[in-house]
Structure 1
């Protein structure tokens, strides 16, 4: 299964700090799915047009089944991931963002500031995740079954889920 992961961070892109959320996406995807995974890795600053181009590339040219973004979903002026995502989606699936906010709110009351969304472009499911590694972990644990079901609908392929302990 081919999975794109896009880290969106001005500071990580500039080398101010290490990207920890992108590697956490990989760790969690491999923990959730029993399929062999091929990752396409992208690290970008918070620039809407660059995000749009990256998501189009992952869905259209790389033919990823799943594209996961991390970062840029908050209310700050440079947080533009949801806007960029909506520009490439053919069908929006707002339930992904709704359940992530609902689940996260129980632990972090500021989770309601997230504007994360998800949807489909062609045969690719695109999901915006939070920027913190712990939040990436919490959200992906929750979304695994829905991701598998969605991929079955759009690709005719249901990735096997690993047994959860």
Structure 2
């Protein structure tokens, strides 16, 4: 079974000003794409680096999520600190994830170049930062999804299976 960490980073949603729509958007995409049985561990935190770091550490180290997906806090505004928090907790960064997501988003949104989403690993967890806009979540996940299952396996996680709706994943052939 896969345990999926979902972390929404938003001052306003965490204080109850509005409902979080981004975390549920991640859950929706995964519900449509994952055939592997899974459960999620959801966290809603403000745009504060210590709170983001604590949530990522807990989900990786205690809950043992194989995949942690964050949403929000990836722009250039002063309170957008998700990438900094992710860098602080990761053992290794995977810059290709951010590059692929930005390249895909730039096809439809010129300001996507301002996005600073990244990905990395902490122990046996893959952490992927997504933008906070619900509509961008599927677009960005689609750009990196082909590499997600292999990365999860390389980190010791479960072999993920997918529905026909999911982007085709890639696993290198054994030599």
TM over 0.5: yes
Q: Which residue of 1 aligns with 2:18?
A: 17
Q: Which residue of 2 aligns with 1:153?
A: 154
Give the C-alpha shift of residue 103 in structure 1. 0.3
Pair 1:39-2:12 in alignment? no
Q: Which residue of 2 aligns with 1:90?
A: 91
Q: Which residue of 2 aligns with 1:71?
A: 72
Note the residue ranges of structure 2 that are not aligned, 5 or more in a row.
167-175
Give the C-alpha shift of residue 156 in structure 1. 5.2
Give the C-alpha shift of residue 64 in structure 1. 0.3
Mapped to 2, the partners of 1:37 and 1:145 lie a distance apart of: 18
Mapped to 2, the partners of 1:144 and 1:12 lie a distance apart of: 27
Give the C-alpha shift of residue 19 in structure 1. 0.4
Mapped to 1, the partners of 2:30 and 2:10 lie a distance apart of: 21
Give the C-alpha shift of residue 138 in structure 1. 0.9
After superposition, the C-alpha distances for 1:103-122 in whole angstroms (9 at most, x for unaligned) are: 00010000000111001100
After superposition, the C-alpha distances for 1:87-141 in whole angstroms (9 at most, x for unaligned) are: 0000100111100000000100000001110011000000000101110011122
Mapped to 1, the partners of 2:63 and 2:72 lie a distance apart of: 22
Mapped to 2, the partners of 1:102 and 1:149 lie a distance apart of: 21
Q: Which residue of 1 aligns with 2:27?
A: 26
Mapped to 2, the partners of 1:143 and 1:36 lie a distance apart of: 21
CA RMSD of aligned residues (A): 1.1
Mapped to 2, the partners of 1:40 and 1:120 lie a distance apart of: 18
Structure 1 runs of 4+ off > 6 angstroms?
Answer: none
Mapped to 1, the partners of 2:96 and 2:123 lie a distance apart of: 19
Mapped to 2, the partners of 1:140 and 1:156 lie a distance apart of: 19
Mapped to 2, the partners of 1:124 and 1:31 lie a distance apart of: 22
Mapped to 1, the partners of 2:143 and 2:165 lie a distance apart of: 11
Using the size of structure 1 for normalisation, the TM-score is 0.97
Structure 1 contact 91–121 (Cα < 8 Å) conserved = yes
Q: Which residue of 2 aligns with 1:56?
A: 57
